[in-house]
């Protein structure tokens, strides 16, 4: 490993101290450190790099923050597929599995090349309007169609591999990866899917019919959703972070991406332990 990129949640009160500690640890091992430009400016470094430029220049990426920060970085990494390790600056995350207390030891393991990687499926989402693609996103967690606060129930005519699945009458629809199954989909009543299983999850949001339940389908299926509504406040969002305003008649196409996120696994705990901790399983 010759170069490492560092991204961080810049609003955290201790991020400067933590980022400098990590950078100095890598530099002492002869590894060049590239800081995302906003972080570089915050800690007084003269040189910084645009977030979307770093993945092409480094062998590993360190993310200091929470799951949202890591998800944002994963989209920037895209097809470069550089390994990402997340250090959570708050509580333990589903994706940022390393705690602040574990970070010094984890940095030594990274420098020594003593780590394992979990490859996570991502999805491509395209928004079609009048025969043209007006939006294109590659996401790690989920692609969501959702109505605004005052909009009426929307119709979501949904097809899987060209076959009609259902016309959902609902507040929205979530298409999630296994990684994203512990996010918005879980809150909407969807199941938890082991993250390395190749599948897609369709979860309606507050469906008008109680018989409309989440459904798991083959990862190579192509999902098409035609959106029909009377109001002008329906949105598509990718990972809950970026999005696009939809018009009635727009068609959202979701399929498995050839891009995969490569996440460094915590050596301190395994996936089911994270679930038990985050979801308070076994507590009364």
Active site residues: 67
Instruction: Please provide residue 24's backbone torsions phi and psi, each rounded to the nearest 5 degrees.
Output: -65, -35
Count CA atoms within 13 Å of residue 171 on its CB side: 7
Q: Of 106, 6, 10, 11, give the one whose Cα is nearest residue 51.
A: 6
> Strands 3-8 and 32-35, how do they pair?
parallel
Instruction: Please provide residue 94's backbone torsions phi and psi, each rounded to the nearest 5 degrees.
Output: -70, -35
Please state, in angstroms and rounded to a whole number, the distance separating the CA atoms of residues 42 and 39: 5
- Contact partners, residue 211, CB within 8 Å, separation at least 6: none
Q: What tokens does 41 get?
A: 């400016």
- Cα–Cα distances (Å) from 5 to 39, 61, 93, 96, 208, in that order, read 11, 5, 21, 16, 46
């Amino acid at each position: 490993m010759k170069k490492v990129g560092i991204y961080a949640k810049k609003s955290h009160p201790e991020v400067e101290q933590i980022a400098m500690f990590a950078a100095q640890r890598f530099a002492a091992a002869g590894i060049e450190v590239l800081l995302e430009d906003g972080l570089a400016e915050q800690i007084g470094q003269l040189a910084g790099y645009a977030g979307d430029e770093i993945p092409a220049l480094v062998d590993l990426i360190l993310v200091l923050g929470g799951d949202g920060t890591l998800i944002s970085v994963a989209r920037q990494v895209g097809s470069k597929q550089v390994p990402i390790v997340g250090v959570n600056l708050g509580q333990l995350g589903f994706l940022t599995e390393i705690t602040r207390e574990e970070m010094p030891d984890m940095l030594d393991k990274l420098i020594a090349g003593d780590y394992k990687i979990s490859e996570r499926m991502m999805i491509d989402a395209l928004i079609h309007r009048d025969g043209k693609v007006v939006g294109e996103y590659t996401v790690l967690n989920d692609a969501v169609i959702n109505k605004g606060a005052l909009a009426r129930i929307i119709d979501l005519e949904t097809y899987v591999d060209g076959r009609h699945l259902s016309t959902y009458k609902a507040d929205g629809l979530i298409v999630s990866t296994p990684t994203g199954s512990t996010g918005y989909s879980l809150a909407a009543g969807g199941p938890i899917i082991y993250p390395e299983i190749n599948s897609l999850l369709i979860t309606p949001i507050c469906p008008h019919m109680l018989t409309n339940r989440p459904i798991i389908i083959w990862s190579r299926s192509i999902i098409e959703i035609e959106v029909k509504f009377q109001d002008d406040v329906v949105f598509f969002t990718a990972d809950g972070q970026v999005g696009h305003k939809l018009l009635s008649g727009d068609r959202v196409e979701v399929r498995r991406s050839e891009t995969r996120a490569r996440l460094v696994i915590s050596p301190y705990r395994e996936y089911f332990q994270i679930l038990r901790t985050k979801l308070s399983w076994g507590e009364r």
